[in-house]
Amino acid sequence: MIGEISIGGVYMPSLLLLGVVALLLTGIAARLLNLIGAYRLVFYRPLADVALFVLILGALVWCSAPHGSPA
């Protein structure tokens, strides 16, 4: 994961942008889980939503990290 991304000359932390993307994906995933009725199995839905956000954010950070051994 690189430290900063330039958008129109303004440097943004990459974790902030990944967090926004993770928030959007979490909203979509939560709606899908609600449609299929998976939230009936969850005791406390806000905690499940936070856990889903953390998992999606972690996956995005892992995917954006450079892989391989350093030279």
Name every residue whose Cβ is closer than 8 Å to that of residue 20 and which is 6 or more positions away in sequence: none
Question: In 3D, which of 16, 6, 8, 5 has the Cα closest to residue 60?
Answer: 16
Look at phi and psi of residue 69 and say left if phi exceeds 0, alpha if psi is from -120 to 50, else beta. beta
Q: Assign 42 to helix, strand or coil.
A: coil
Q: Hey, where are the domains in the chain?
A: 4-64
29 and 52 Cβ atoms separated by less than 8 Å: yes
For residue 50, the model assigns a pLDDT of 97
pLDDT in tens, 14-38: 899 999 999 999 999 999 999 999 9
Full-prediction pTM beyond 0.85? no
